[in-house]
Amino acid sequence: MSDTSIAFIGGSGLYNIEGISAIEKLNVNTPFGKPSSTITIGKLNNLKVAFLPRHGINHELNPSEIPTKANIYALKSIGVKRIISISAVGSLQKEIEPLHLVIPDQIIDRTKSRPSTFFEKGIVAHVSFANPFCKSLNKLLFKTGKNLNIPLHKNKTYLAMEGPQFSTKAESELYRMWGADIIGMTAIPEAKLAREAEICYSTIAMVTDYDCWHENEEDVSVELVIQNLKKNINTSKKMIYKISTSVNLDYDCECSNALKNAIITNIDSIPKEIDDKLSLFTKKYL
């Protein structure tokens, strides 16, 4: 199924997609190791889709352990052009309530120890990341959520933290001062690596709590997150199902040409092993 052009990456609580038929499980090896799990591919309302649980099928990988390079490379290798990520987040703003969904358009990277580029060790590329989420996919997600009457927010900023611990109150208040709207642990480096791979990438962020800044709410806990996760998962599954009935995959956008003019390194100086390793991304330019 090399023409599987759209993939869903499931976050906390979402380890499968109901309703997929003609299921096949793919074990994909990549130059960056194995992905988080086998990739499920099949049909959802006659749309060929792929699904990958980022934390593993048993949620055995913490946010910093996710093999994101392998995940993105594997999805690219089977023909994926668009990724819709589903992830749990905390709210940093009063009007964004638990059980609401958010389609962010900006991101602040506060991660510390995660490899976030494919281009290193002999090759350098500087891709544009001013708009980190795909504008076309974002429009589709927002329209879908509104048609389903889901409480939904757009044009919000996602702050990506390292984890796996939750924020301190001082950190939470600082991020609010910066103008961040939601906080999560997984959109980075996914968004950066997807852009380098020229894959459109957007996030359905499921709000589970008010982080720890809200004086009238209990501090974020695993129990609270899990309780609201279960409710949010049902909502996100409705969106996924609806997307599969209406998604238009014929458009082109700036994401699909992100590497054009971005590779700075002299072609003749790129080590052969690096050239071979990245040819999946670079073959149309080098």
Q: What is the CATH topology of the domain spanning 6-119+129-253? A: Rossmann fold (3.40.50)
CA separation for the pair 118, 106 (Å, rounded): 22
Q: List active site positions.
A: 209, 211
**pLDDT tens by residue, 108-143:** 999 999 999 999 999 999 999 999 999 999 999 999
Give the integer Cα–Cα distance in Å for 105 and 117: 20
- Among the ranges 142-151, 152-161, 211-220, which has the highest mean pLDDT value? 152-161
Express each pLDDT in 193-206 by its tens digit: 999 999 999 999 99
The confidence band for 272, taking pLDDT boundaries of 50, 70 and 90, is: very high
Query: Do 67 and 190 form a contact (C-beta atoms < 8 A)?
Result: no
Read off the pLDDT of each residue in 243-259 and give the average, rounded to a whole number: 79
For the chain, report the end-to-end CA distance as a whole number of angstroms.
Answer: 26
Domain ranges of the chain: 6-119+129-253
Cα separations in angstroms, 272 against 45, 56, 69, 278:
43, 33, 20, 10
User: Residue 12 burial (CB < 10 Å; 0-12/13-18/19+)?
Assistant: buried
pLDDT given for residue 1 in this prediction: 42
